[in-house]
Amino acid sequence: MHYAPQDEPCPLPYSPFKSCTVPRPIGWLSTISKDGTPNLAPYSQWQNLTFDPPMVMFAANQLSTGERKHTVTNAEETGWFVWNMATYDLREAVNISAMELPKGENEFGRAGVTAEPCIEAPGPRVAESPAHFECRYLSTHRLRGNSNHGWVEVVYGEVVQIHVRDEVITPEGKLDIPKIRPLARLGYYDYTSVTEVFEMRVPGAHGLLNAGLEGKSS
């Protein structure tokens, strides 16, 4: 099977595009509006960028009406957004928070999760989540789409506070990923969670390369 997505229709009943780039980590992002209303929403275009200093990005498509996502406008107006680790145990709350609700409605209450204060970010984080990043907003880059919904805004941030629950840290000082079971997005309506971990080290790697793989600045 082969097709050019800009020139011809997909020959399959479902587009394979999002099912090829998998699994995708979920940016379960909390923000607060300038008038003080909390917001919570998941984004499956989320990724780390670098580690020294730690920076992240997420991409948010516009609504079909052409309106911008509340997460983006809140981050721009307040200068902050917060990443909350989405897990298998929190899957229903993550899914509920994906609903398109009117501006001003509190998704924390709708999703049934607890709003916990941050250290620097003005908005709350999800208390039930095992890990959080408080992110200082850096910039937004807009890319043109073929439709209102196709327009996408890529938002960049610097991680200035990292929270991890003690009970998900192993004696070796690593995150216990099989215990956490992070949630990840597949294509279509499908998700997965991480239940198995294996280690591979780059042959001949040493010094700064190993430090980089371990997320150390030196």
Residue 198 structure tokens = 């294996």
Q: For the domain bounded by 24-176, which CATH number is listed? A: 2.30.110.10
pLDDT over 70 (residue 74): yes
The rounded percent of the chain whose pLDDT value lies above 70 is 99
Closest by CA position to 70, among listed 27, 111, 105, 113: 105
Dihedral class, residue 40 (left if φ above 0, else alpha if ψ from -120 to 50, else beta)? beta
What dihedral do alpha carbons 185, 126, 85, 155 form, nearest 10°?
70
Neighbours of 108 (CB within 10 A): 20
Higher pLDDT: 65 or 169? It is 169
- On whether the CB atoms of residues 75 and 158 are closer than 8 A, the answer is no
User: Per mean pLDDT, which of 34-38, 105-109, 208-212 is the most reliable?
Assistant: 34-38
Q: What does the pLDDT look like over 123-176, one tens digit per residue?
A: 999 999 999 999 999 999 999 988 877 889 999 999 999 999 999 999 999 999
Neighbours of 67 (CB within 10 A): 12
Integer Cα distance of 61 and 84 in angstroms: 20
| Confidence grade of residue 213 (pLDDT, cut at 50, 70, 90) | confident
Q: DSSP for the chain?
A: ----TTTS--SSSS-SHHHHS-SEE-EEEEEE-TTS-EEEEEESSEEEEEETTEEEEEEEEPPTTSPPPHHHHHHHHHSEEEEE--BGGGHHHHHHTTS---TT--HHHHHT--EE--SS-SS-EETTSSEEEEEEEEEEEEE--SSTTT-EEEEEEEEEEEEE-GGGB-TTSSB-HHHH-BEEE-STT-EEE---------TT--THHHHHHTT---
Per-residue pLDDT at 218:
58
Cis upstream peptide for 23 (omega within 30°)? yes
Closest by CA position to 106, among listed 134, 72, 70, 139: 70
pLDDT over 70 (residue 98): yes
Per-residue pLDDT at 217:
64
